Amino acid sequence: MNVEVTPLPGIGTRQDFMIRSGRRIGVITYRDGKFELIVSSKEDPDDCSASIPLSTTEAGTLAGLLGAPQLVAQLRDEHSDIAGISTKQFPIVPGSVFDGRTLGETELRTRTGASIVAVVRAGAVSPSPRPDFVFVGGDLVVVVGTVDGLQQTADILGGG
């Protein structure tokens, strides 16, 4: 995918690429740390047909939502030869029981047999997080385990 980076003097940068429909989608990163999701019209790539301002947290959450499925798909492919093993992602909801608590405090492996193999935060992947890894709201936790273990994981991370 060819991502075009365009400096916007005094403002920041525009990074965008063309999607299958012929439209362009991208992000303007402002010098003050704000972001803007943009969609250009099909007829004129310089004409912005939609723009959505995002805070740093919102941009990070969106990046996580877009990045985590690729990671999960890759892990599914890698585990496809192992019967009974699945991969699933779970969000850490802001203000939930595990927002601000460590991975170790979940006791997930002991309680479910499932393993947290990665955490996606603001589009960045933390592979094999250690027990002292602290979750924050908006994290996406990638877990590998049996169907039962993943269901128990949903119960624990959803309600603690």
Number of domains in the chain: 2
Are 114 and 150 a contacting pair, CB within 8 Å?
A: yes
What is the CATH classification number for the domain harbouring 46?
3.10.450
- Same domain, residue pair 101 and 48: no
Where a domain ends, among 34, 63, 78?
A: 78
Site of tokens 């790539």: 45
| Max avg pLDDT among 58-62, 124-128, 129-133 | 129-133
Residue 58: what residue type? E
What is the CATH classification number for the domain harbouring 133?
3.30.70.1450
- Same domain, residue pair 93 and 62: no
What the block records as the tokens of 149 is: 């273990």
In the chain, the percentage of residues whose pLDDT exceeds 90 is: 28
Structural domain harbouring 129: 85-158
- Same domain, residue pair 25 and 44: yes
For the beta carbon of residue 74, count every other beta carbon within 10 angstroms: 12
CA 46-25-62 angle, 5° bins = 140
CA 36-32-101 angle, 5° bins = 85
* Per-residue pLDDT tens over the stretch 29-42: 888 878 899 999 87
- pLDDT value of position 160: 44
pTM score over 0.85? no
Are 36 and 26 a contacting pair, CB within 8 Å?
A: no
